[in-house]
A = this chain, B = another copy of it.
Amino acid sequence: MGKWVYGFGGGTAEGGAGMRELLGGKGANLAEMASIGLPVPPGFTITTEVCSHYYTHEQSYPEELRNQVEEAIAEIEKQVGAGFGDQENPLLLSVRSGARVSMPGMMDTVLNLGLNQVTVESLSAQSGNPRFAWDSYRRFVQAYSDVVLGVEHYLFEDLLEDKKRELGVVLDGDLQAEHFCELTAAYRALTKSQLDRAFPEDVHEQLWGAIGAVFSSWQIDRARTYRRLHGIPEDWGTAVTVQAMVFGNLGQSSATGVAFTRNPSTGVREYFGEYLINAQGEDVVAGLRTPLYLTRKARQEAGAAEPAMEETLPEAFTQLTQIFEQLEAHYHDMQDIEFTVQKGKLWMLQTRSGKRAAGAALKIAVDMVGEGLLSEQEAVMQIDPRTLDQLLHPTLDPKAPRDLLTSGLPASPGAASGAIVFDAETAEDWAASKRDVILVRSETSPEDIRGMHAARGILTARGGMTSHAAVVARGMGRACVSGAGELEIDLENRRLVCHGRTFEEGDILTIDGSTGHVMVGPVDTVQPELSVDFETLMSWADRHRTMGVRANAETPLDTRMARDFGAEGIGLCRTEHMFFDADRITAVRQMILADDEAGRRAALDQILPEQRRDFAEIFEIMKGLPVTIRLLDPPLHEFLPRAEKDFEAVAKASGVSVAALRRRAEVLHEFNPMLGHRGCRLGVTYPEIYEMQVRAIFEGALAAEERTGTAVLAEVMIPLVSTVEELSILKGVIETAAEQVFKAAGRRMDYLIGTMIELPRAALRAGDLAKEAQFFSFGTNDLTQTVYGISRDDAAGFMQDYIERRIFPENPFVSIDVEGVGELIKLAVARGRATRGDLKLGLCGEHGGDPASISFCQEVGLDYVSCSAYRIPIARLAAAQAAIREAAKP
């Protein structure tokens, strides 16, 4: 026989906080509070398993349920000393839903269940307060009719308004007991006419109706949508918690309130909350009466006159603060609680882990370690790494007014205001004259890199969370909103149209890359300041993590920032962005458009000194730390000139006609550049390009060693490999070029040669590749693209829909697809290490900054992750959490 019902109250409970899956969050915590002796109104919880049974058995209950519920009610009756449906001394109940996580859209609460034409009189007599009794009854009939029986809410509101108009009063407070009595009769008549049957007098019928309504609400549209959006499985189900009513509205010695055990905005250790005398819980949140402060101190600081709870109900207050301490000591976390004082007696109605601002979370965690409440590991586990973003980027001033224009994807966090410009060049020009600009593009391409650098933020009409704009912006730490599809960019007239509003180039817009909002005009922003708590927590994270954290960085600026944020090396230095510098792009284009090797070499000779300088500087900044440099990767046509004047510049520089250049550019055009002549395929076809890059790396490295006196740890990485033959050929090219440099310098250095694993075939053939590669770096962006056959630049058309409909549990470009991409990674790790035991393994895709993906990396045993500079602290924390979780495994 199944156990479907768990009772609690009177100092004991059948369940506890650990049974959230079975009892829901609310039920589990009520049981926990009861079991540690806190004053909790007695009650019981019907488990989530009943919900599953309900849906798998044509909306029916397990056989034993009815008996178990009856027994549990008998237990409540015993503890309270009242009878459910008893004419003299009626027991009233609350019925609440309770999923594992709180879920808007579900049926929430029915209070005062057990009232009917008979018991209302008893309540009236017992409380000596007919108005209270009839108001309670009225509220119950309305709530029950609405949420359980499905009668529209507004119909009752209309009756109430009619009543007040009839009486010539404005406030509910002006209504008397008889008015509520009449209203209740009218409500019951309304429900009867709507449903063609009477409002249930039978209290058991009321109870089972409410229980059924909770289970049914699991499948209403809003709840389903919420689950889809938040990745909550359908089969979790909800529990139902039934509890004896307590009343905060039985006069001046009754009250109700909500509180946090610490300040959730600042993290300061102070009692924080609100209460109302003579009120029910819903009054606190309804906003009709202004709640009062809990403590005298808070009241005084706010300059408020109305007395604090500490002053009005000192005994209950003292007991409450003792419970605060007890709860924190018990849960090892800051708590968010609800309580009611009924005629002087304190009852606890709910406790849960309190939501808090990112900065407050850090302070609380660090403080609790100091107070001995938490270990370092527990403190590290308590911070959601994703919230650190708020601390690292400028954010919109929450108090500033805003005029929301449209929304896109929150592609790169931070907020920025500026004049809109429609091309990269204008962005650079205006930025040079000290104007803040927002670069607005349909989508960005590598040609826009300098303009993106110059801009404060990037706004695109197309592309997803992992589009070019998004990836590059995150790398640079620029705010970015991508895929704002409602924007119509009219490049010809240099204007932007959205919802009938037109913005000319130079008009100010504000973007919030953390929410995806686009606002008209400037909005004040707040600059972040890193606290001591941040540093402390990060030091603990570093102490407990086992994976390294490196940065994806390629400019001296990014490299320096990465080191400041705690990067332990560079995991991905892309060399292609360096090619876009204004002073070298023409030479790069000459190289691409050259007809033969000689022409390419002439152009490469011009680029060499610049690349050498880039690398030397990066090596110097990363002094003592490893730097992985990826040889040229993207399709050459990305570098092709588009504007006529660019063609002319190249034509002039290389002495070729513009027409010839255009023909060559046409030949280089590709249908699917992502799958084209790029990566190591370029190195195989044009080894002179890689030769130049390798020379620049080692000449730069030797120069950096000379200046710093420290050995450079260079790792040369070959992209887009699919066969070991590619690797062998290019390893030869690299080694030959390196030897030439060493010979010329009369000095040598150690270095590694490795490969990206970013194609399914590379993962499958990892055993072969490891024969030549000393390290693997998983390029999960491209690997995800090829495993799914989805171009991240083109996914915007369906990605959102796919995630909302749970076709993809998550955007696979944001969080690693463990089932598909993950299997290939695991397989590559196993095959690679089988060939070469000391193979170094890292990950350098966008996923390197995603906590779930970092956790996966820990599980499969990678040596490090690499992510953009701004995500380094997130990665450090997430890696620590992954290591702690792993260590805790049996």
- Tell me, in angstroms, the Cα distance from A765 to B822 when the chains sit together: 12
Q: In residues 247-276 of chain A, which contact B (Cβ within 8 Å)? A: none
Contacts of A685 in B (CB 8 A): 797-798, 801
Smallest CB-CB A-B distances: 5 pairs: A675-B791, A672-B791, A676-B794, A761-B820, A677-B797
Chain B proximity mask over A761-779: 1 for CB below 8 Å, otherwise 0: 1001100000000000000
- Tell me, in angstroms, the Cα distance from A667 to B791 when the chains sit together: 16
Chain B proximity mask over A458-475: 1 for CB below 8 Å, otherwise 0: 000010000000000000
- Tell me, in angstroms, the Cα distance from A786 to B764 when the chains sit together: 13
Judging by beta carbons under 8 Å apart, are A677 and B794 in contact? yes
- Interface residue A819 (Cβ < 8 Å from any Cβ of B): yes
Considering the complex, give the chain B residue whose CB is closest to the CB of A721. Answer: B789
Considering the complex, give the chain B residue whose CB is closest to the CB of A793. Answer: B671
Q: Which listed segment binds B: A87-95, A113-121, A649-657, A804-812?
A: A804-812
- Tell me, in angstroms, the Cα distance from A366 to B34 when the chains sit together: 92
A729: min CB distance to chain B, Å: 7
Chain B proximity mask over A728-760: 1 for CB below 8 Å, otherwise 0: 010000000000000000000000000000111
- Interface residue A725 (Cβ < 8 Å from any Cβ of B): yes
Q: Assuming A722-B790, A760-B786, what are 4 further A-B pairs, CB within 8 angstroms? A: A672-B674, A675-B675, A676-B790, A759-B789
Contacts of A797 in B (CB 8 A): 676-677, 681, 685
Considering the complex, give the chain B residue whose CB is closest to the CB of A801. Answer: B685
Total A residues in contact with B, Cβ cutoff 8 Å: 53
Judging by beta carbons under 8 Å apart, are A675 and B726 in contact? no
Known contacts A789-B786, A805-B729, A820 near B760 by CB under 8 Å: yes
- Tell me, in angstroms, the Cα distance from A723 to B671 when the chains sit together: 26
Judging by beta carbons under 8 Å apart, are A824 and B788 in contact? no
Known contacts A672-B674, A674-B671, A684-B798, A787 near B807 by CB under 8 Å: no
Known contacts A759-B787, A791-B672, A794-B670, A806 near B725 by CB under 8 Å: yes
A691: min CB distance to chain B, Å: 17
- Interface residue A208 (Cβ < 8 Å from any Cβ of B): no
Contacts of A677 in B (CB 8 A): 794, 797-798
Judging by beta carbons under 8 Å apart, are A671 and B758 in contact? no
- Interface residue A817 (Cβ < 8 Å from any Cβ of B): yes
- Tell me, in angstroms, the Cα distance from A33 to B222 when the chains sit together: 86
A51: min CB distance to chain B, Å: 22
Known contacts A759-B789, A786-B789, A673 near B675 by CB under 8 Å: no
- Interface residue A597 (Cβ < 8 Å from any Cβ of B): no
- Tell me, in angstroms, the Cα distance from A801 to B680 when the chains sit together: 13
- Interface residue A112 (Cβ < 8 Å from any Cβ of B): no
Considering the complex, give the chain B residue whose CB is closest to the CB of A467. Answer: B671
Known contacts A758-B789, A807-B725, A801 near B684 by CB under 8 Å: yes
> Which listed residue (B488, B722, B764) contacts A824, Cβ 8 A?
B764
Judging by beta carbons under 8 Å apart, are B789 and A819 in contact? no
Contacts of A673 in B (CB 8 A): 671-672, 794
- Interface residue A785 (Cβ < 8 Å from any Cβ of B): yes
Judging by beta carbons under 8 Å apart, are A788 and B672 in contact? no
A816: min CB distance to chain B, Å: 13
A-B pairs with beta carbons under 8 Å apart, 18 shown:
A670-B791, A670-B793, A670-B794, A671-B791, A674-B675, A675-B785, A681-B797, A684-B807, A722-B790, A722-B820, A723-B807, A723-B808, A729-B805, A758-B789, A760-B789, A761-B788, A764-B819, A764-B823
A665: min CB distance to chain B, Å: 13
- Interface residue A553 (Cβ < 8 Å from any Cβ of B): no
- Interface residue A376 (Cβ < 8 Å from any Cβ of B): no
Q: Which residue, of A667, A675, A684, A801, has the highest number of chain B Cβ atoms within 10 A?
A: A675
Contacts of A720 in B (CB 8 A): 789
**Chain A residues close to B by CB (< 8 Å):** 462, 488, 663, 667, 670-677, 679, 681, 684-685, 720, 722-723, 725-726, 729, 758-761, 764-765, 782, 785-791, 793-795, 797-798, 801-802, 805-808, 817, 819-821, 823-824
- Tell me, in angstroms, the Cα distance from A786 to B789 when the chains sit together: 6
A406: min CB distance to chain B, Å: 16
- Tell me, in angstroms, the Cα distance from A806 to B723 when the chains sit together: 10
Judging by beta carbons under 8 Å apart, are B672 and A793 in contact? yes
Contacts of A672 in B (CB 8 A): 672-675, 791, 793-794
A597: min CB distance to chain B, Å: 14
Considering the complex, give the chain B residue whose CB is closest to the CB of A822. Answer: B764
Contacts of A679 in B (CB 8 A): 789
A812: min CB distance to chain B, Å: 9
Contacts of A788 in B (CB 8 A): 722, 759, 761
Known contacts A726-B807, A764-B820, A675 near B801 by CB under 8 Å: no
- Tell me, in angstroms, the Cα distance from A43 to B488 when the chains sit together: 85
- Tell me, in angstroms, the Cα distance from A308 to B681 when the chains sit together: 59
A324: min CB distance to chain B, Å: 46
A40: min CB distance to chain B, Å: 42
Judging by beta carbons under 8 Å apart, are A675 and B794 in contact? yes
Contacts of A663 in B (CB 8 A): 488
Judging by beta carbons under 8 Å apart, are B675 and A722 in contact? no
- Tell me, in angstroms, the Cα distance from A805 to B685 when the chains sit together: 11
- Tell me, in angstroms, the Cα distance from A819 to B724 when the chains sit together: 12
A445: min CB distance to chain B, Å: 9
- Tell me, in angstroms, the Cα distance from A176 to B761 when the chains sit together: 68
> Which listed residue (B761, B793, B798) contacts A787, Cβ 8 A?
B761
- Tell me, in angstroms, the Cα distance from A663 to B490 when the chains sit together: 10
- Tell me, in angstroms, the Cα distance from A40 to B563 when the chains sit together: 80
Judging by beta carbons under 8 Å apart, are B674 and A820 in contact? no
- Tell me, in angstroms, the Cα distance from A505 to B667 when the chains sit together: 22
A470: min CB distance to chain B, Å: 14
Contacts of A667 in B (CB 8 A): 462
A482: min CB distance to chain B, Å: 14
- Tell me, in angstroms, the Cα distance from A890 to B572 when the chains sit together: 51
A823: min CB distance to chain B, Å: 5
Judging by beta carbons under 8 Å apart, are A789 and B722 in contact? yes
Considering the complex, give the chain B residue whose CB is closest to the CB of A667. Answer: B462
Contacts of A808 in B (CB 8 A): 723, 725
- Tell me, in angstroms, the Cα distance from A863 to B218 when the chains sit together: 45
Q: Which residue, of A794, A819, A823, has the highest number of chain B Cβ atoms within 10 A?
A: A794
- Tell me, in angstroms, the Cα distance from A817 to B671 when the chains sit together: 23
A588: min CB distance to chain B, Å: 18
A508: min CB distance to chain B, Å: 26
A604: min CB distance to chain B, Å: 19
Known contacts A670-B791, A672-B672, A794-B675, A760 near B729 by CB under 8 Å: no
A46: min CB distance to chain B, Å: 31
Contacts of A801 in B (CB 8 A): 684-685
A658: min CB distance to chain B, Å: 16
Contacts of A729 in B (CB 8 A): 805, 807
A712: min CB distance to chain B, Å: 31
Considering the complex, give the chain B residue whose CB is closest to the CB of A784. Answer: B761
